[in-house]
Amino acid sequence: MRLFARDVGSGPPLVLLHAFPLSSAMWLAQREGLADRFRVLTPDLPGFGGSRLVGGPPSLDAAADAVAELLDWHGIGRAVVGGVSLGAHTALALLRRRPDLVGGLVLASARAAADPDDVRAARLRQADALERTGDIRAVADDVLPRLVGRTTMTRQAFVYGRVRGLVQAAPPAAAAWALRALADRPDETPALAAADVPALVLHGAEDALTDERDARALAAALPAARLEVIAEAGQLSPVEQPARFDRAVAAFTAAHA
């Protein structure tokens, strides 16, 4: 499962994994703002952007293995690995499967626990709808209003428009694959207790999909983690508040790369 990735800059490697149902195009501000200090590698997860979707059961472990293969192919032995929602959960799977590759974690809009039954059922219904209709609008109309915070909705029409375009460009098959992978992910809490890696947990103060209690529980599950709340941001803090996100990530990466 070879992934397409944008690779810019030089310095300590920083790998950023995109949110659902976007692509590595969401990291434009980070590639521009962080490449003067770090080598920024932004892959498209399976089926999104320039990456192909291959056979086999959908799973975050398969996505994490593809990221590991990509890092091996690029000769990156250890990196700070960050992600948002789908990307953060893929980063957690990578830590469990290839801890040698992870020198630090940046986790935004994620939870350590598995999905509650109602959330899991909703993901599977959305995956069914995507596979039945082949129309990304089956998910976009539901997800879009909750991806960004109220500040973005009311004051940053351009940002909301960009997010809408990225969501509407998502291949339905990839979105269905990712939904099934997210629905079937395990509770990572027991594995995180033994994680010997520094972590930065980021939470958008206006996130309607991940509760701040989830962010605090994720930070508490990691032995060496701290939580930072990003004001005026929802699920997509790197897109909604890129300067604030970049400052937090740059300081963390410089300290732990």
Give 43's pLDDT tier (boundaries 50, 70, 90).
very high
pLDDT tens track for 136-162? 998 888 898 899 999 999 999 999 999
Question: Which CATH fold would you assign to the domain 5-256?
Answer: Rossmann fold (3.40.50)
State the DSSP code for 52. Answer: P
The span from the CA of 181 to the CA of 155, in Å, is 34
The pTM for the full model equals 0.97
Backbone angles phi, psi at 210, to 5 degrees: -120, 120
Element (H, E) at 82: strand 79-84
pLDDT tens track for 14-33? 999 999 999 999 999 999 99
pLDDT at position 10: 95
Helix pair 137-147, 157-168: axis angle to 10 deg: 150
